[in-house]
Structure 1
Amino acid sequence: MARSALVVIDMLNPYEHQDAAQLARQVATIIEPLADLVARANERDDVELVYVNDNYGDFAADRRGIVAKALNGRRADLVEPILPPPGCAFLPKVRHSAFFGTSLEYLLAHQQVETVVLAGQVTEQCVLYSALDAYVRHYKLTVPPDCVATIHEDLGQAALRMMELNMSAHLIPSGVCFAS
């Protein structure tokens, strides 16, 4: 059973929304450490790797469709390095939190996960809301700041501070995650 889970949030993005250019600049800075973190998590038996991604209003969308839409979007270069590895869990979501309307809670309980590591986009929105939902479900929480991207830097920093102070999140560099 997994003791930890790496939950990768909304990284399969076609970058066709209002704040896409601003977000893409931030995402470009996290791709390398996030790809490394995903690879390390995927190699471990004690880490459950889970991708949770917005379905962009397409309720027939599945993993294949969401990946295809992102790869055919404006910034495939930001998608290709962090595609979900074969065999990892993939959960489409409809709104902000990775828990809302998904089977994430059941999956984590089934795998006996104690610590949730959150990575992805957007720090001040989906990552923050997912952190709160993990916290109220009594999960230990870790967020590597070098693996989350913001639209608004000031709000992203405030969100990280809220996660640390209000949700007891450990803010640690991705290189330290899963180190043993």
Structure 2
Amino acid sequence: MPAPSAEPRAPRSKGVVVALTKAGRTKIRYPAELVRDDGTRVTVRAPWAAPGVRDFGFVRFEPGDVFTEHYWRDRWFAVKEVRTAGGELKGWYCDITRPAVLADGVLAVEDLDLDLWVSADGSSVLRLDEDEFEASGLAARDPGAAGAAAEALDELERLARTEGLTALLA
């Protein structure tokens, strides 16, 4: 992986492709508008990219929803602000990932199974998919990555329960 740049970069174009992989396979690829790239954090905006509605029980992602997604080159997570087509905040869906890499118009992100959901009012903070993370075998294959992933989930949960995620995204 290329080393992260400390210098802010001007976007080459307004569009990128987000390529999310999981367990070595492409999970989803979708076009997104590049909103900001300061050399450390890359922010993109995209409509809900999966087909149809996905109802998690605590939130529904559906056509028309808009995701403003924040990826870091030096952190092990991504934070996705989710709004309805009308602009109402639903909350934040956080993926635990390896640090993101942006090259040649592709934002490459490796999903490490752990997730966190934070409702719009901050009253609901849910750790998700810890069973999938354990079953993935990452701890045996790459203990360093597994440790970084667990620490990232703890950090996001602490922020969500204290300062709120908006402080992280400011």
TM-score by length of 1: 0.31
Larger Rg: 2
Of Structure 1 and Structure 2, the greater strand share is in 2
- Higher RCO (C-alpha 8 Å, min separation 6): 1
